[in-house]
Structure 1
Amino acid sequence: MRLVRYGESGSEKPGLIDDENILRDLSEEIDDLAGEALSRATLDKLRAINPKALAKADPSHRIGPCVGRVGNFIAVGLNYADHAKESGMEIPSEPILFNKAPSSIVGPHDDVIVPKGSDRLDWEVEIAIVIGEEALYVSEDQALDHVAGFCLCNDVSERTFQAQRGGQWMKGKSAPTFGPLGPWLVTPDELGDPQAVDLWLDVNGERMQTGSTATMIFGVKTLVSYISQFMRLMPGDVITTGTPPGVGMGMKPERYLKPGDIITLGGKGLGEQRQTVKAYEA
């Protein structure tokens, strides 16, 4: 299934994209695509519904982030060897984890706002994992049993805040609009192998990133299992898994986003995002 949330920010309704790419309303079945609605039991219930029996929704609606009420927004750093190289850092021996604020999450086509004081605003196309069942001390063999699905994420990053302001990376990862998610939450049966997803990102129509999840250092099963050794993952938690090479920080000379730039990105089976970069207005 391809599940969505549509409508104005803060008032999104749950929906489904059918095989004919028609947006269908799920609000009679679940309140939101969040929490317990992401469980195996609920997803199985939704999967059993004939999509044509669901009301059509107006396709002009805004598409919101594909998961609601996110509790933990966890990110993985340097998870592609070639990205670690372009960043001038060693390949990690264990996953590098940091937080993004859940308040950074926006829809896949919402504007990206340049935060106050920013001078090195960067892009990162990633595949994100959405947790559907509680996970604590799970094995790699059990890991996918706890996954509701996958989605596209632009891990927008402010490199000066991240690297030169002291402390944790989350300073450069958590500003409002720094976490576009969606357009869809794609269930595992729909996506297929999560380690065979091609990813790409363009800025103003110029290809910047091309990669594949096949080259991740730590795959999806490893990440879910590993993170569950340190915390209890809850339904609706999001893990964004790292980016392939081609970020602005890795270019020579470095290149960063500015107001007016258009970011487009996509992943095989995950859909596409499009954001316009805009200046902060008080």
Structure 2
Amino acid sequence: MKLASLKEGGRDGTLIVVSRDLAHAVRANGIAATLQAALDDWSNIAPRLNALYAELNDGKAADAFAVDFNKFAAPLPRAFEFVDGSAYLPHVERVRRARGAEVPESFYTDPLMYQAVSAGFIGPRDPVVVVSEDYGIDLEAEVVVVTDDVPMAVTPVQAAGHIQLIGLINDVSLRGLIPAELLKGFGFLQSKPRSALSPVLVTPDELGDSWQGEKLHLPMRTWINGKWFGAAECGVDMQFSFAELVAHAAKTRPLTAGTIVGSGTIANEDTGTGASCLAEQRVVETLRDGKPSTPFLKFGDSLRIEITDHDGASIFGAIEQSITPLVK
């Protein structure tokens, strides 16, 4: 099943069901007004949405309409919680190595995670608005999962059953602001603005054998200004599965339905697959050449983030954004 939200009906959008080929959609009238409402009563609502999804794919859904991603909000325009991990240790290792720091042994057994911005997500075709290029504007292509209600202290095995939807995110980072914030020892704030979700979120069954061990086993494809940037394999070098990340987040508190859990930037030990963020590429260049040669994003730049299936069909739809200055 594929779900999305239109930019209508208020701040939380209007829930729609999208066809498998991403060509048509239908409003979930009478089932659930918003995706958050569906997640709040998932065990009862999901079967009804799935029945509508089957009708849509069979060409039998009344009032179906052609998809226009420009009219899509983020599937969850706002969420109660977004916690972002850093499950790809090649990324962590390179970044720390570049600044002469060692990776603590605990990083290999205990996930890195922080509380991210969830009060609002950018739509998949909305611009990334930034005050200044001097902030060091970066994309971060990640996979996310969305949970139903997760009890406190669940095991990873139990947590796996609470993963209901999967999608992509451009977790925007302002690299120029990060060092000063981390020196305060209190985490990210100004350096992590709002992020963009993929046009649709999908249920695990849509991914077939590409979803195994609570990991997505497909390449994360990224382009900058129409030029290929990377195709890092999501299922390779992921130190912690999504089940482990969800269990980590729920260790001392329950998670509310609609919680988003991120994988962190997709990165492989083999740098030949390219990168999923500019900071990663700049670190590789620094380690290789002594200095970075790839610039951070500038106003007017564009980016594209997408995952396709083995037949080349887009699964989640693409995140396509431009970098735009704030106009006061």
Answer yes or no: same fold by TM over 0.5: yes
**Residue equivalent to 1:259:** 299
Q: What CA distance in whole angstroms lies between the structure 1 residues aligned with 2:43 and 2:160?
A: 11
2:72 counterpart of 1:72: no
- 2:48 aligned residue (33, 45, 48): 45
Q: What is the CA deviation profile of residues 199-224 of structure 1, one whole-angstrom value per residue up to 9, with x for unaligned ones? A: 12111122223212212111111111
- 1:150 aligned residue (155, 163, 166): 166
Asked whether the 8 Å contact 1:24–1:57 carries over to 2, the reply is: yes
- Percent sequence identity is 22
Asked whether the 8 Å contact 1:113–1:278 carries over to 2, the reply is: yes
Count of residues in correspondence between the two structures: 279
**Residue equivalent to 2:95:** 87
Q: Between Structure 1 and Structure 2, which shows a larger proportion of helix residues?
A: 2
**Residue equivalent to 1:3:** 3
Q: Map of 1:182-193 to 2, 5 A cutoff?
A: 182-192=198-208, 193=211
Q: Map of 1:21-170 to 2, 5 A cutoff?
A: 21-37=23-39, 39-49=42-52, 50-51=55-56, 52-57=60-65, 59-60=67-68, 62-77=71-86, 79-88=87-96, 90=103, 92-93=107-108, 94-116=110-132, 118-165=134-181, 166-170=184-188
How far did 1:114 drift?
Answer: 1.3
Q: What CA distance in whole angstroms lies between the structure 1 residues aligned with 2:256 and 2:264?
A: 20
Paired AA for residue 85 in structure 2: V
Paired AA for residue 140 in structure 1: P
**Residue equivalent to 1:208:** 229
Compute the TM-score of the two structures, normalised by the length of structure 2. Answer: 0.78
Query: What are structure 2's unaligned runs of at least 5 residues?
Result: 98-102, 268-274, 286-291, 309-314
Asked whether the 8 Å contact 2:77–2:121 carries over to 1, the reply is: no
Compute the TM-score of the two structures, normalised by the length of structure 1. Answer: 0.90
Higher Cα Rg, which structure: 2
Asked whether the 8 Å contact 2:302–2:321 carries over to 1, the reply is: yes
Distance 1:136 1:115, change over 3 A: farther
Query: What are structure 1's unaligned runs of at least 5 residues?
Result: none
Question: After TM superposition, what 4+ stretches of structure 1 lie above 6 angstroms from structure 2?
Answer: none
Which is further off, 137-146 or 18-27?
18-27
Q: What CA distance in whole angstroms lies between the structure 1 residues aligned with 2:29 and 2:15?
A: 6
SS state of the match for residue 102, structure 1? coil
Paired AA for residue 74 in structure 1: V
Q: What CA distance in whole angstroms lies between the structure 1 residues aligned with 2:76 and 2:135?
A: 30
Asked whether the 8 Å contact 2:24–2:64 carries over to 1, the reply is: yes
Q: What CA distance in whole angstroms lies between the structure 2 residues aligned with 1:88 and 1:101?
A: 24
How far did 1:69 drift?
Answer: 3.9
